[in-house]
Chain A
Amino acid sequence: MSRILQSAGERRAETHPLTWRLHDDQSPVLLEEYLDTQGYAAVTKALEQYTYESLTEEVKGANLRGRGGAGFSAGMKWSLTAKGADVPRGYIVCNADEMEPGTFKDRLLMEQQPHLLIEGMILAGYANRSKQGYIFLRGEYHLAAASIQRALADARADGWLGSDVRGSGWDFDIALHTGAGRYICGEETALINSLEGKRANPRAKPPFPGQSGAWGLPTVVNNVETLCNVPGIVNHGADWFQALSGDLSRDGGTKLYGVSGKVNNPGLWELPMGTTGSRILELAGGMRDGLTLKSWLPGGGSTGFLLPEHLELALDFDTIGKTGSRMGTGLLTVVADNQSMVSLTRNLEEFFARESCGWCTPCRDGLPWSVKLLRALEAGEGEGGDIELLEQMARDLGPGKTFCAHAPGAAMPLASAIHYFRDEFERGITRPKGEAHADPIPVGSV
């Protein structure tokens, strides 16, 4: 079970649409309680008042940006789905393969409030004319699986899923699909291959999944947190959603922000989109053991390192994007002054090397090579030119060189660590290019 959600104040439906129902004892919100607290009201409203086009327009107007890390407008994605009388109905797939290093938000939503996700999926299914939904859940989330299975059965028994949803004449159901490991399954098209029972290699785009996805039918893939935002938008409107972030951000809504690493009070908070990193770090009680913050990742292992000065920026997709990093999942990983950037980067690249599906050469061969170089630097056995070679590799792993974003994701922390902390890497070089190494000086811990 995840740690309890922490509050920066009282949680209310109007201000904390994702978490206001959650219990202090972390027990799940079951169907009866969910129905008593506006639950499934958005489905009723949508079936009565919205067409699939107008529902898509509402979500588009809210500027709900994808919470899985890419930040693409959910409404825009939905508007690009092939749908119409002559197009077969396809699939809405929830990406619940939460495996991004440093990210622990979707787990909480699924374990403790599965009906909010199901309601969001029903709405997304309606807006996209989907015939079936799948929740693609990573295999290690056993508690979330049990929580979702029970909620699906309860929702189905109460008529929210299945044929003729609540007497509307509209058929829609959801099945839980659990994975069996591999980070790459979180990549949209690899996820679709995995859902089809294949190896999780990504697919070439175009065609985009909205045109031809699972089993060749129009398929929309949205993250858990993204879908959990949809009921609130339908209940209260796009303007309300935009107002949640007020002047802090042009992106609408709230965000589940979190902090991990050596802080006094690691955890998760629902805050307005655009809250600053310094505010979030303050809620996390600051660095522990008298440590000082050296660097931080804004939203997972595939985002670029930033400096303490960047903590004053609004944590939203555009603002963090301008630094050259990405907001990603919005869960901060903090690095203390006594922790080695070379070692941490080596750890990250080992992760990406192991999790590469092997489909594209730069990723399959480049990532293990970067690990080899980083290990040498970490052991104080690097040679002249190693850093420049790593920089070259970061460029060659960048966007456009491979089928999916796995390699570009791996390049981000690598390039940014060298950019901001070059001196730490230089300390690992103890011999000129081409010469045998003489006297190793480990720099694993600074």
Chain B
Amino acid sequence: MTTTATIGTTIASDGFVLDPADRAAILEERAHYPYPQAASIEALKIVQKRHGHVPDGAIPAIAETLGIRVADVEGVATFYSLIFRQPVGRHVILICDSSSCFLTDYEALRDAFIDHLGIQMGQTTADGRFTLLPVCCLGACDRGPTILIGEDLHGPVTPDEIPRLLEAYA
């Protein structure tokens, strides 16, 4: 895979084309701030929403759209844990691994997910359906252990509920 980047100019790489609707959405976000760099995280999220992850070619495309440096976009893209720089499954399962869920037995739940899906944390199922990742305290500690699938919060979740729970995510 090759990515050629030139600061501040239009870049063609990996055949990535920024969707016109995404470009418009990024420019709309840009209007919320005094400087364009502030919209870079939201821009990455906009691209990710369409593609599931942020393809290499999207980095220079975002930089060009916002008129900021490629390195600044990549620096942000690699810092934040919810920006995925590699392909992920259609549904990302975020398992809370913080203290309250630890005390309500999240480790057994995590192990049950690993067994059920046949993948380790950080991996994606062969059919491209699920990716398993850890996440910071989901702020629903009264319902621990908690998980987030896509935008859906679930909790408390017991290991035996996993097969049924996942049926809703094709």
Residues of A bordering B, CB below 8 Å: 1-3, 98-104, 106-107, 138-143, 175, 177-183, 194-200, 215, 258-262, 266-268, 297, 301, 331, 333-336, 339, 343-344, 347-348, 350-351, 355, 357
Query: Chain B: which residue is nearest A146 at the CB level?
Result: B151
- Whether B137 contacts A102 by the Cβ 8 Å rule is yes
Would you call B32 an interface residue if the criterion is a C-beta within 8 Å of the partner chain's C-beta atoms?
Answer: yes
A-chain residues with CB within 8 Å of residue B20 when the two chains form the complex: none
Residues of B bordering A, CB below 8 Å: 32-42, 44-45, 68, 72, 75-76, 79-83, 94, 97-100, 102-104, 135-144, 148, 151, 153
- Whether B80 contacts A180 by the Cβ 8 Å rule is yes
Query: Chain B: which residue is nearest A268 at the CB level?
Result: B142
- Whether A99 contacts B136 by the Cβ 8 Å rule is yes
Question: Given the complex of chains A and B, what is the CA–CA distance between A335 and B40 in angstroms?
Answer: 41
Knowing A101-B137, A183-B136, A196-B37, say if A344 contacts B99 (CB, 8 Å): yes
Knowing A258-B142, A261-B100, A297-B99, say if A99 contacts B137 (CB, 8 Å): yes
B-chain residues with CB within 8 Å of residue A260 when the two chains form the complex: 100, 103-104, 141-142, 144
Given known contacts A140-B138, A199-B76, A215-B35, what 18 new A-B pairs fall within 8 Å (CB)?
A101-B136, A103-B141, A104-B140, A138-B139, A140-B139, A180-B44, A180-B45, A182-B79, A197-B38, A197-B72, A200-B79, A267-B142, A301-B137, A339-B103, A343-B102, A344-B99, A344-B102, A350-B97
**Within the complex, what minimum Cβ distance (angstroms) separates A223 from chain B?**
13
Query: Chain B: which residue is nearest A263 at the CB level?
Result: B142
- Whether A197 contacts B136 by the Cβ 8 Å rule is no
B-chain residues with CB within 8 Å of residue A258 when the two chains form the complex: 141-142
Query: Chain A: which residue is nearest B133 at the CB level?
Result: A181
A-chain residues with CB within 8 Å of residue B143 when the two chains form the complex: 2-3, 266
**Within the complex, what minimum Cβ distance (angstroms) separates A93 from chain B?**
12
- Whether B99 contacts A98 by the Cβ 8 Å rule is no
- Whether A333 contacts B99 by the Cβ 8 Å rule is yes
- Whether A180 contacts B81 by the Cβ 8 Å rule is yes
Candidates A182, A261, A347; contact of B97 at CB < 8 Å? A347
Query: Chain A: which residue is nearest B41 at the CB level?
Result: A180
Question: Given the complex of chains A and B, what is the CA–CA distance between A122 and B34 in angstroms?
Answer: 20
29 A–B contacts, CB within 8 A, in A order: A3-B143, A98-B139, A99-B136, A100-B137, A101-B98, A101-B100, A101-B136, A102-B98, A104-B141, A140-B82, A140-B94, A175-B32, A178-B45, A179-B80, A180-B80, A181-B136, A196-B35, A215-B34, A260-B103, A261-B104, A266-B141, A301-B98, A333-B99, A336-B103, A343-B102, A344-B99, A347-B98, A348-B99, A351-B98
Question: Given the complex of chains A and B, what is the CA–CA distance between A351 and B103 in angstroms?
Answer: 14
A-chain residues with CB within 8 Å of residue B82 when the two chains form the complex: 139-140, 179-181
**Within the complex, what minimum Cβ distance (angstroms) separates B132 from chain A?**
16
